[in-house]
Amino acid sequence: MSSKTIDIALLTENKYVNPTTTDWYIDQVLQEDGLVKSALEKLGYSVEILDWADQNVDWSQFKVCVFRTIWDYFHRFDEFMAWIDKVKPQTTFVNSIEQILWNVDKHYLGDLAAKGIPTVETHFIERNDQRDLGAILHEMEWSKAVLKPCI
């Protein structure tokens, strides 16, 4: 008999677990995660929203983990990969490890676009590119951009 007592862990980063101060962005993240949690609970699942890096969590008590707002992983990539290796035998990740790893490398946006799937217009700044951001924005004819590490 399984010792798992909670159906789903919704994974987030620490700053979205019971924040003492918020802004419009944090409020939006909390609302979205709350909507997912509420919808799953209405379907009869028990759900907790947890910091993926919380060392005090027994991940084996969860039937599945759903990756949601873990946006600090790229600042702590080695720690994140060690966490995945530690936790994957204890529970089930809703997305496969292959899917998660494909997603952390933002080149996946190029993969999607190559298959005809609509994505945001994307330009990859590859390692050793000597241009500054202003030159790239000018070349792309963009007045603003979102920067994400490709990892």
Q: What pLDDT shows up at residue 26?
A: 95
For a pLDDT cut of 70, what percent of the chain falls above it? 97
pLDDT tens by residue, 113-125: 999 999 998 888 8
Across 23-37, average pLDDT: 96
Give, in degrees to the nearest 5, the angle at Cα 73 between 66 and 37: 25
Confidence (pTM): 0.81
